[in-house]
Amino acid sequence: MKRLTITGGAGFIGSNLCEYFTSKGFEVTCLDNLSTGFLRNIEHLRNVPNFHFIEGDIRDLSTCRKVVENCDVVLHEAALGSVPRSINDPINTNSNNIDGFLNMLVAARDAGVKRFVYAASSSTYGDSKILPKKEHEIGRPLSPYAITKFVNELYANVFSNLYGIETIGLRYFNVFGRRQDPNGAYAAVIPLWVKALMNHQSPFINGDGSYSRDFTYIDNVIQANRLAAFIPSAELKQHLEVYNDSLPPTSPKDSVFNVAYGGNTTLNALFSCLRDNLSRFDAEIAHIEPTYRENRPGDIPHSQASIAKTQSVLGYRPEFDAIRGFGEACEWYWNNL
């Protein structure tokens, strides 16, 4: 039996990972300080024998050491997300995302953890205008949040080279799906708009709606984590060497992978799709129109991933395109909000 530690396990992505791996018989230790995660996300797991919840903070090294005891693989999801939040409070973002990340790396190294898989971010691409986004071509960060996620990649690469711990970064692109919180000042766009539509309110679109994103359904993220956690070391090394040989000589050679579908949806198209899906449950929603306002600082116009490296090295095959995912998410919110 593999023993997993999942940090941020009461959050949106973390709770879905806890649910999946617990259901497959893995021994799962979930760590969360409940600052942005919720006990309701893992309540259905609390009496499962192979699930263990520890309330604690990754900024406390002793807690990090405790949760990685006898652990085979760490799935590090804990972070303080949101670009706007990081702009408003860069110190707290830095403390959680860099200090906490380093604590988990040190604890995992000292405990002899075999593999450390962590949530990286598409925000690392910064001001790069190249589309689709390829792992070896990044720009300058546009927010404190983006800086912290890039520093995570640098730390992980150094720890792999110096200490031999296998680190794999998964650059998530606009993940959405069940349990993503629609409340709070920094709620993501999809749950925020779904909540507004269900309440017969007009959602706000930043800009003219032409900005686009590679929206990624949660089940694709679960697949990527499963592959990253358990691909055999020899196979990972071999596939990486083959892929890296195809890159320009000066390109960075690290274990970072895009996790997305490889699609592109404008905000206007997203709004129409969410409205259409929710109108199946409430016909009045079909008449709601969005309200447009100024773009947010730190937002990039377009984001679309190349998933060629993730497919080639990890064997990633995303099953949910954005349209199918929007339908699944709307049905979940309608039944659970």
- Percent helix, strand and coil across the chain, each to the nearest 5: 45, 15, 40
Phi-psi region of 207 (alpha: psi -120 to 50; beta: other; left: phi over 0): left
Write out the DSSP string of 150-167.
Answer: HHHHHHHHHHHHHH--EE
Maximal CA-CA distance, the chain = 59
Instruction: Report the distance separating Cα 96 and Cα 83, nearest Å.
Output: 14
Q: How far apart are CA 90 and CA 74, in angstroms?
A: 26
Direct distance between the N- and C-terminal alpha carbons of the chain, in angstroms, rounded to an integer: 36
| Residues 6+ positions from 162 with CB-CB distance below 8 Å | none
Annotation marks residue 145 as catalytic: yes
Is residue 173 a contact partner of residue 305, using CB atoms and an 8 Å limit?
yes
Cα dihedral 299, 223, 317, 250 sign: positive
Which residue of the set 20, 145, 172, 217 is catalytic? 145
Classify each residue of 183-192 as buried b or exposed e, where b means 16 or more C-beta atoms within 10 Å of its C-beta. eeebebbbbb
**Residue 285 and residue 197 in contact, taking contact as beta carbons nearer than 8 Å:** yes
Tokens of 285: 């929603």
Give the three-state DSSP class for 117.
strand
Classified as helix, coil or strand, 322 is helix
Amino acid letter, residue 59: R
Question: Active-site positions?
Answer: 145
